[in-house]
């Protein structure tokens, strides 16, 4: 493991009792943090310089669990050292970094997988089954939402030098990946967006609100807490992407898809159709509840199984690269104050 922060602890908790994966080393630039993690989870080897760890031949794979701005270098270095890589979401803070990581996977033939645990939920699998059945026909419009009323994190999440981007990459990437995955990964061609951090920059402590990932202070915040984008795709479909850490509203809608034969709302999972001369609403029953620790375990096991069996990445890097195309488009469109053209980089 490269990085021994909070997300590393989530992965280690998920791997307790798992026989298919043996964690043999942890690297962190703060040696004390690596030592604490190694002692807690009985990891035998500790490194401050991850390059030394990558030189160990017996290590087959690496989990990159650093803050966003530090995803590119260890991922590219690990791939070129002959290791498979599981990197935490988002793939990277910038499109250039995500493209470089994808390119390195192609150059080396090693597996690159972005850890998006929501891909493994029963809810997502049920929605994907409906979408691929053709029940919706052609998708022409969708909205995806990841929002909190007052849920700013702290620490590395809110500083541009570490996170690179705020809510759009933190919680927004989950719903954006969900929308693209269910739509079949259409190629975006333009983005018109706005983003700001007005509320968080003027934030004062509110009763009952807690923060995670470190102390929150408006003075430390240098990323956005709100972002909205209108995305056009080459097949003519459009997506509205909305995400925020803070807002004066109870909700800003949910994720849904409109197609030529039906519509799908994700919460609760409901299929809307015209059938037999009637309007029908089919609510999917008995979907197992989402259990993040169990899904962390499933994503790690899927990664390990693909390595053992010589299979492609369970989440191909090109798919998460698409989220970075849209995220970069949101950043650039907001800065320009107008719609901009976007495209997949050559990798």
pLDDT at residue 137 greater than cutoff 90: yes
The residue-averaged pLDDT of 67-92 equals 98
Q: Which tens digit of pLDDT belongs to each residue from 228-254?
A: 999 999 999 999 999 999 999 999 999
The residue-averaged pLDDT of 328-338 equals 98
pLDDT for position 317:
98
pLDDT for position 214:
83
pLDDT for position 220:
95
Contacts of 330 (CB under 8 A, 6+ apart): 168, 191, 193, 195, 227, 229, 241
* Mean pLDDT of the chain, nearest integer: 97
- Is 64 in contact with 74 (CB distance < 8 Å)? yes
pLDDT at residue 215 greater than cutoff 90: no
Superfamily for the 6-118+293-314 domain? NAD(P)-binding Rossmann-like Domain (3.40.50.720)
The residue-averaged pLDDT of 134-157 equals 97
Angstrom CA distances, 320 to 38, 78, 117, 313, stand at: 30, 19, 13, 12
Res. 208 pLDDT band, cuts 50 70 90: confident
pTM summary value: 0.97
pLDDT for position 336:
98
pLDDT for position 209:
87
Tell me how crowded residue 32 is: count the other CB atoms within 10 A of its CB: 9
pLDDT at residue 14 greater than cutoff 90: yes
- Is 93 in contact with 163 (CB distance < 8 Å)? yes
Between 124 and 210, where is the model more confident?
124
The top-level CATH class assigned to 122-289 is: alpha beta
Res. 47 pLDDT band, cuts 50 70 90: very high
Residue spans per domain, the chain: 6-118+293-314, 122-289
Res. 210 pLDDT band, cuts 50 70 90: confident
Peptide bond into 6 cis (omega under 30): no
Q: Which tens digit of pLDDT belongs to each residue from 276-305?
A: 999 999 999 999 999 999 999 999 999 999
For residue 226, list its beta bridge partners.
Answer: 196, 244
| Structure-token match 């009952």, residue found | 208
pLDDT for position 309:
97
pLDDT at residue 8 greater than cutoff 90: yes
Half-sphere exposure for 140 (CA within 13 Å, toward CB):
6
pLDDT for position 302:
98
What percent of the chain clears pLDDT 70, i.e. is strictly above it?
Answer: 100
């Amino acid at each position: 493991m490269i990085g021994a922060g909070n997300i590393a602890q989530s992965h280690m908790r998920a791997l307790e009792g798992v026989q298919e994966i043996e964690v043999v080393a942890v690297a962190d630039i703060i040696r004390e943090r690596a030592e604490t993690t190694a002692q807690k989870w009985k990891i035998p080897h500790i490194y401050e310089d991850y390059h030394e760890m990558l030189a160990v031949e017996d290590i087959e794979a690496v989990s990159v669990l650093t803050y966003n701005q530090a995803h590119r270098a260890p991922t590219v270095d690990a791939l070129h050292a002959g290791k498979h890589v599981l990197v935490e979401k988002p793939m990277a803070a910038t499109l250039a970094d995500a493209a470089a990581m994808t390119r390195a996977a192609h150059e080396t033939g090693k597996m690159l997988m972005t850890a998006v645990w929501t891909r493994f939920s029963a809810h997502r699998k049920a929605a994907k089954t409906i979408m691929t059945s053709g029940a919706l026909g052609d998708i022409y419009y969708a909205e995806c939402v990841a929002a909190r009323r007052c849920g700013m994190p702290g620490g590395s999440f809110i500083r541009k030098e570490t996170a690179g981007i705020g809510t759009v990459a933190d919680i927004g990437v989950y719903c954006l990946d969900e929308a693209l995955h269910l739509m079949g990964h259409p190629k975006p061609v333009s983005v018109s967006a706005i983003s700001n951090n007005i509320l968080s920059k003027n934030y004062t402590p509110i009763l009952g609100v807690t923060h995670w990932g470190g102390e929150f202070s408006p003075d430390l915040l240098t990323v956005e807490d709100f972002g909205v984008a209108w995305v056009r795709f080459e097949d003519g479909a459009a997506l509205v992407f909305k995400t925020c850490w803070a807002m004066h509203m109870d909700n800003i809608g949910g994720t849904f898809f409109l197609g030529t034969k039906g519509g799908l709302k994700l919460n609760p999972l409901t299929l809307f159709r015209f059938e037999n001369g009637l309007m029908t609403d089919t609510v999917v029953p008995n979907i197992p509840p989402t259990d993040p620790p169990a899904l962390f375990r499933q994503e790690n096991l899927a990664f390990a199984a693909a390595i053992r069996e010589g299979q492609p990445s369970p989440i191909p890097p090109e798919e998460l690269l698409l989220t970075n195309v849209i995220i970069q488009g949101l950043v650039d469109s907001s800065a320009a104050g107008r719609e901009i053209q976007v495209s997949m980089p050559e990798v």
